[in-house]
């Protein structure tokens, strides 16, 4: 099911399987996107799909991706169809049967047209959102992009109007005969993303204080 509050379900956002896993609130979509570090963007190149990992950022109901103007994949035509998907793996679901093994996860799939961002203010706001998604606090702490860097960076916008969210939580869904048979363990192994100890750049003194936006950062 697509986001019912933004647009009626279209063929590509209507889930064909496990409709009970669909989430229809815009807040759910925002939450899945906002918790991610990396998304996967799909493009069509020479008649074939290409899927590449990318950073991204969100401003209201628009997601932005960016890259060097020299990057092959960013030579997207203005208006070309793209798909941006963000997935969080939350657990591995062990069932009594191989068939019912699964994953607990949250995923957002955004379908849309890539719009090249040319307005300077929107471009700067997009770069800020992308930076803050990857590294909250960096926009204030680090040096902002200069004219040369802005010119070397292409930014594309994708509207969130056509998007779907799918979430699986909870224990395995084993068949009754397998439960009755017994003798096999079933359950969930939780999966989490954690941060390690910050590694200060070798060009700085090793005892350079780590700022709070890095040292105190916790996964979203």
End-to-end CA distance of the chain: 25
Q: How many residues bind a copy of itself (CB under 8 A)?
A: 95
Find out whether 15 and 166 touch, Cβ atoms under 8 Å: yes
Nearest to 180 by CA among 96, 93, 94: 96
Residues 47 and 199: their CA atoms lie apart, in Å, by 43
With a CB cutoff of 8 Å and minimum separation 6, the contacts of 129 are 57, 58, 59, 64
Tell which one of 58, 62, 65, 174 touches a copy of itself (CB under 8 A): 174
Tell which one of 20, 47, 60, 147 touches a copy of itself (CB under 8 A): 47
Q: What strands lie across the sheet with 162-168, from one edge to the other?
A: 22-23, 162-168, 102-113, 81-94, 39-45, 48-54
Tell which one of 22, 41, 126, 129 touches a copy of itself (CB under 8 A): 41
Tell which one of 20, 118, 121, 204 touches a copy of itself (CB under 8 A): 204
Closer residue to a copy of itself in complex, CB, 4/181: 181
Residue 159 binds a copy of itself (CB under 8 A):
no
With a CB cutoff of 8 Å and minimum separation 6, the contacts of 15 are 1, 21, 22, 164, 166
Print the binding letters for residues 83-122 with a copy of itself: x by CB under 8 A, - otherwise: xxx-x-x-xx-xxxxxx-x-x-x-x-x-x-----------
Residue 178 binds a copy of itself (CB under 8 A):
yes
Please choose, out of 27-35, 57-65, 82-90, 115-123, the segment that lies near a copy of itself by the rule CB under 8 A: 82-90
Residues 204 and 185: their CA atoms lie apart, in Å, by 51
Print the binding letters for residues 120-149 with a copy of itself: x by CB under 8 A, - otherwise: -------x---x--xx--xx-xxxxxx--x
CB of 177 to a copy of itself, least distance (A): 9
């Amino acid at each position: 099911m697509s986001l019912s509050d933004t647009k009626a379900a279209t063929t590509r956002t209507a889930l064909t399987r496990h409709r009970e896993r669909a989430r229809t609130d815009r807040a759910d979509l925002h939450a899945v996107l906002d918790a991610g570090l990396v998304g996967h963007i799909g493009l069509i190149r020479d008649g074939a799909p290409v899927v590449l990992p990318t950073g991204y950022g969100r401003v209201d109901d628009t997601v932005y991706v960016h890259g060097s103007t020299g990057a092959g994949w960013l030579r997207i035509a203005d208006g070309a169809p793209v798909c941006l998907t963000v997935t969080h793996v939350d657990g591995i679901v062990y069932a009594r049967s191989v068939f019912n093994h699964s994953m607990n996860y949250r995923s957002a799939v955004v379908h849309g047209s890539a719009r090249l961002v040319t307005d300077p203010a929107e471009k700067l706001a997009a770069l800020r959102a992308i930076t803050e998604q990857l590294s909250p606090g960096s926009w204030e702490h680090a040096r902002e992009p200069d004219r040369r860097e802005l010119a070397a960076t292409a930014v594309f916008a994708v509207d969130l109007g056509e998007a779907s969210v799918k979430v699986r939580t909870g224990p395995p869904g084993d068949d009754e005969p397998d439960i009755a048979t017994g003798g096999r363990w079933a359950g969930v192994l939780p999966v989490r993303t954690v941060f390690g100890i910050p590694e200060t750049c070798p060009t700085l003194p090793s005892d350079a204080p780590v700022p709070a936006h890095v040292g105190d950062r916790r996964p979203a």
